Chains A and B, each alone.
Chain A
Amino acid sequence: MKTLSTLQVGDRVTVSSIEGDDDISVRLLEMGLVPGVELTVVGYAPLGDPIEIELIGYRLSLRKSEASRVVIAD
């Protein structure tokens, strides 16, 4: 299972699901990380965390711990 936290800068992938049903996963879903959405990894912060991504025309930053909830389609 591949997750968002393992990607390289510039990777373009499709979300397949979000793990869990707590507040964090709801938040990720609300921000547009729904199954089928395409995203691009824009970069990592200087200390390697958080990660910056682009999806549906905007930029979002999230910690690796949150990014590991985002399962990526192969």
Chain B
Amino acid sequence: MSIQQQTEPIAIALIGNPNTGKSTLFNALSGVRQRTGNYPGVTVEKKHGTFGVSDKAIELIDLPGSYSLAPRSPDEMVAVDVLLGRLPAERKPQAVLVILDAGNLERNLYILSQVLELRLPTVVALNMIDAAAEKGVTVDVPKLSERLGVPVIPTRANHGEGVQELREALANIEQLAPPEATSPFPPAFRDEVAGLQGQLVSRNVSTPRYLVERLLLDTSGYLESELKLGGDDFHQFIADARTRLKESGAPVPAVEAMSRYGWVRETLQGIVERKQVPPPLSDRLDRIMTHPVFGTIIFAVLMMAVFTAVFSDYIAGVPMGWIEGLFEFLGGVVGDNFAEGPFRSLLVDGVIAGVGGVLVFLPQICILFFFIAILEDCGYMARAAYLMDRLFSNVGLSGKSFIPLLSSFACAIPGVMATRVIENRRDRLITMLIAPLMSCSARIPVYVIMIAAFVPQYSFAGGLLNSHTLTFAGMYLVGVVTAVLVALVLKKTILRGATPPFVMELPSYKWPSIQTVLMRVVEKGWAFIYRAGTLIFASSVLVWAAAYYPHNEAIVAPEIERLAAVETELEQATDETKVAALEEEQAELQNHIDGALLRDSYLGRAGHWIEPAVRPLGWDWRIGCATIASFPAREVIIGTLGVIFDMGGDDEDTAPLQEKLQTATWDGTDKPLFNLPVALSVMVFFALCAQCAATLAAIKRETNSWRWPIFTFFYMTALAYIGAFIIYRIASFFTTT
């Protein structure tokens, strides 16, 4: 292929406002040849795509969607650092591709004005020309290109129109001269920048002119500390410059927006024509979608529809069945083809059962992300944040936390990843820390079996409500209410700070791009598989080892002997009833052996060891043991309980396990082990605990620090313990009197 002939591809950075179709364009240009990752030290996603055109290879660096190149935090600094070639891990781009929304040029040109000052060869993609026409906006493209001094290519990225032309323009980008330096700032400001630059030179610091301007404009002091330009006298120099600017009528920071929007108006003079047209469909839709009454109803209906799809047996249930079947099949194949021993046990009980137990949730995650991607791409999610903001601001968060928390009902891992939409660091952290409290699908098996076995079934309100559904809903509520309280406490204690501003664009509605939606689903699904494959894998192996060793078969010697005898008898037996009886005895013996070995294992011993700690929750050592085993993933508790109670861990049908749990008694007594208070205590514990290693790993990755996952683990475990204790005491009080 011609791509390989080039030594190094041309590096081009892609930048533009959010909601301009940037990711659609990125996907259309680079197709499937993409790489994603994280920039070290920050939560900004790093996305690279490569493609070839006219014998040239091009590498596109997707920068986060942004309204301005004015860094006030490390995350915002990334785009500027990449463009100025200040990141060691990233090549300095040779050129910039700026994407503009043709229907919204006035605001979109703001960031272009900043990009042009970087003096890199620039190409403009004028996107969504069709949507602009619908709004009655027409743009004189040749004239715009002439005034900006850079090529302007009209595109409709979602239809693939103009993409080829854009590719060709990018292939020739090296021959382009950098745009002329036309600073929109008033002379007084330029003089101060020159003075400041002189100061820097006298201190032997070479800083790009763009950053010198920013240094003067950034009143937050972030850039000053970031550039490590020490010295009080230097700080004083900047402060004096700002005072002079204020006196001369160019106050910092307002001068920048005023100058740039002035330049924008001049540039667009006579180029953009706005015809009076009847309000476009998008505006009429918005009337309804954000209407106090209809908007709320539509919102509730949409959310219910999404949840129904995610949790319905007919949609998600079918592929989940396939995955379960696949792992059962795999377990069977391995079980039949390997000799009995530690290795087979590791594969079947450790790896296949562990990873399979988590991967079974993949369909739910994909379905949820399919809907979220559609709602996001068509512009509804911004409305959801708008509608929910007032509620979230009560807890000191903003409506932007809504999407991540919604995702967490399927699984906290994509929820934690989705916190990237929140710019404010403190908000993002809090949302990440409370996301695992949303009842994810892994808790469902725990709820289902406990409710079915121990919650008495009765219906009321004419059959509309019944105790089982209410308990189930109650568990979700426990998580949500706790999350609210935790958010409030965090906001008042370790993550104190002013409520961040809520200033959010409400983009026009548009048809979602199928490609963008599918790519998002694949991306999230893959991230989930990756985590399940690495972390769950590792912890499954560890828990397996704890549950397998020391594997002292001497303690079950008589049973093993009897089992061997049964097996030989089985081989000779021909009588049907006898075969059935022998098979039953064989299974019983096998379960008894497995159970005895587990009870004697390190995990079993650990269970005994922590029994005093779990007694106040109404639990015995066996429940404690299953809880330890479910550290990698909550749903593991069901399988472990199965093994402990001599049921076999891979029992598909939960009815026998239910029965076993109902008849289980405290060791050496006939007092039932489980009752309603114990079941509630187990459910509440699992609703609140941090028993999911993969989520903790996701938090580690997103925050780039061990501090927050460790914090999450301890605070959630403490909450789970306290919650379980309280519910056990309350429920015991009511059931005994």
B107 and A47: CB pair below 8 A?
no
Closest chain A residue to B272, Cβ basis: A57
Q: Are A57 and B503 in contact (CB under 8 A)?
A: no
Could you mark each residue 48-64 of chain A with 1 if its beta carbon is under 8 Å from any beta carbon of chain B, else 0?
Answer: 11101000111111110
Contact A26 B386 (CB under 8 A): no
Which of A18, A34, A37, A60 gathers the greatest number of chain B CB atoms within 10 Å?
A: A34
Give Cα A63 to B506, complex, Å.
Answer: 13
Residue positions of A touching B, CB distance < 8 A? 18, 21-32, 34-35, 37, 42-50, 52, 56-63, 65-66
Chain A residues closer than 8 Å to B107, beta-carbon distance:
31-32, 56-58
B590 contacts partner chain A, Cβ-Cβ < 8 Å: no
Q: How far is the CB of A39 from chain B (nearest CB, A)?
A: 12
8 pairs, CB–CB < 8 Å, chain A vs chain B: A26-B219, A29-B253, A30-B110, A57-B137, A58-B103, A59-B505, A60-B503, A61-B505
B residues 381-424 near A (Cβ < 8 Å) are 382, 386-387, 389-391, 393, 399
Interfacial residues of chain B within 252-288, with CB under 8 A of chain A in the complex: 252-254, 256-258, 261, 274, 286-287
Residues of B within 8 A of A23 (CB): 72, 220, 501
Of all chain B residues, the one with the shortest Cβ separation from A66 is B501
| Residues A50 and B386 in contact in the complex (CB < 8 Å), given A21-B253, A29-B254 | yes
| Cβ-defined contact, B503 with A48, below 8 A | no
List the A residue with the shortest CB-CB distance to B103.
A57
A27 to B105, CA, bound (A): 18
Contact A32 B110 (CB under 8 A): yes
Given A29-B254, A31-B107, A63-B393: A52 and B502 within 8 A (CB)? no
Q: Is B393 a contact of A22 with CB atoms below 8 Å?
A: no
| Contacts known (A23-B72, A61-B506, A63-B501); A42 close to B261, Cβ less than 8 A | no
Interface centre among B287, B296, B382, B386 (most CB of A within 10 A): B386
Q: Is B488 an interface residue (CB 8 A)?
A: no
| Residues A63 and B502 in contact in the complex (CB < 8 Å), given A47-B390, A56-B106 | yes
A61 touches B254 (CB 8 A): no
- Nearest-neighbour CB distance to chain B for A68, whole angstroms, equals 12
A24 and B503 within 8 A (CB) = yes
Q: In the complex the two chains form, is B254's CB within 8 Å of A18's CB? A: yes
Alpha-carbon gap, A59 to B501, bound state (A): 17
Q: Is the interface of A mostly helix, strand, loop or mixed?
A: mixed
CA distance A35 to B104 in the complex (A): 19
Residues A57 and B106 in contact, CB atoms below 8 Å apart? yes
Chain B 95-112, CB within 8 Å of chain A: the 1/0 string? 000000001111100100
Q: Does B135 contact A (CB under 8 A)?
A: yes
Beyond A30-B68, A45-B386, A61-B504, 18 additional contacts (C-beta under 8 Å) are A21-B219, A25-B254, A29-B257, A31-B107, A34-B257, A45-B292, A46-B296, A47-B390, A49-B389, A50-B386, A50-B390, A52-B290, A56-B106, A58-B107, A59-B286, A59-B506, A60-B506, A62-B504
From B219, B258, B261, B505, A58 is in contact (CB under 8 Å) with: B505
Contact residues of B between 497 and 546, Cβ < 8 Å to A: 499, 501-508
Q: List which B643-670 residues lie within 8 A (CB) of chain A.
A: none
B222 closest partner in A (C-beta): A23
Residues of A within 8 Å of B105, CB to CB, are 57
Contact of A31 with B254 at beta-carbon distance under 8 Å, contacts A58-B505, A60-B506 already known: no
Q: Which residues of A contact B295 (CB under 8 A)?
A: 46
Say whether A30 contacts B70, CB under 8 Å.
yes
Contact B391 A47 (CB under 8 A): yes
Chain A residues near B503: list those with CB within 8 A.
24, 27-28, 31, 60-63, 66
Q: Write out the residue numbers on chain B whose beta carbons fall within 8 Å of the beta carbon of A34.
A: 254, 257-258, 261
Residues in B with CB closer than 8 Å to A35 are 258
Q: How far is the CA of A48 from the CA of B394 in the complex (A)?
A: 13
Whole-angstrom distance between the Cβ of B222 and the nearest chain A Cβ: 9
Among A48, A56, A65, find the residue whose CB has the most chain B CB atoms closer than 10 A: A56
- How near does chain B come to A12, taking the closest CB pair, in angstroms? 15
Bound complex: CA A50 to CA B504 (Å): 10
Q: Give complex CA distance A43, B287 in Å.
A: 8
Known interface pairs A21-B254, A57-B103, A57-B137; A27-B501 also in contact (CB < 8 Å) = yes
Q: Which residues of chain A have C-beta atoms less than 8 A from B257's C-beta?
A: 26, 29-30, 34
Measured CB to CB, the closest approach of chain B to A62, in angstroms, equals 5
Within 8 Å CB of A50, what residues of B?
386, 389-390, 399, 502
